[in-house]
Structure 1
């Protein structure tokens, strides 16, 4: 037999049967979008202030509770979280300076970025003087966004439930939608009259039997109504509302980038 056949190989390939772990990147974007340093740190500041505002609201709630002594552990934990949020905030403002040297204190930064009215509790804790009063804070924006989210959620749920054979709770769902329309503001007032026009008939029908079913005309009307509400909420392109203007102004401000911000 030839020596070539009997000589052992110089290198053994695949000597083990182990399989390397596959990295999962399902939640990573296919194309990474570049983000300016100014915008990245600006969002970081916004996140820290939002967290601090919630923690300070929680602190007030614990302090006013009848079980303040029993909540001592929770109170201590909340204080530690507040201190951590302030530390992150201080670090973020330090990064906000181009050379990493803090030329302004946090109070001045908050005023210059017009964040004092958006986060009144955080501003007060950070001892900012002359806090603007009577302006809309960030919570007003989030409350409005929550109402809009409810409008879309209820509308889509109604559209899905229209496919069922039992519409027993449809009047209740329409009542919830109507309440959201009232809370949503002037741009949604026009939908109230459309609901009022058909609600009584639908309520009477859904109360008439154990498994009521809307007529084809009622289903078509309700499907069109909810589609219009979803379109109005998500795709109308209407101007930024008063509730969201301060936050939108801040996001526009940190989004204005120059080459040195990259």
Structure 2
């Protein structure tokens, strides 16, 4: 990835941690997040929160890095974020009493939250590619990775979000990516964007928890925002198998149904996409 010039970095202000905490706290009747930390640089926000997972005071905690040097994507892919050009953020939650069969909905819930935050705060027409890539005009603006730090009755899960905010064309990680700046977003204020994502996540998570982890309402919201459904897709499955067909639904466990098969993992490409 191209390193941003000093000139471009100067025009990327740091996150305002105090304003971020105020904006998040203002949005809910009851506090949801136990702490929101912002650090200048780290290897991986997910890895840092997983390391904290054994401490009870880490529940519902947030870690954001101005620069991430060893971020983890799906299938153990590494990515690096230029300083202040993205939002590299992780949230640690402990969904007590959840059925393990629906735990896979957590990253999908996060995708819904990011889409709603971008639509409402940045004024962009964002949607989802299964399972949880966030797209604008068919191009990826954000990725999400959930990792289970510990299993059991109250599993600990860390969900990471990487959102491209002010990357220019030369800084994009892949040609089919996009940033909010390149998409003509109404704001690229990372403090407001991060606050919006955290508010939407807290809203969705709390509603799901209060529904006893029933996925019906969450699944309906996901289907409304998922551009994969109804499209002809190509899925590259673990082990090298390739499946092509129409994505017709998302099942109770969050798996995409392609033809008559439910797929739980794989790289999905929209055929005849808008790239």
- TM-score, scaled relative to structure 2: 0.22
- TM-score, scaled relative to structure 1: 0.23
Determine which structure has the larger helix proportion and give its number: 1
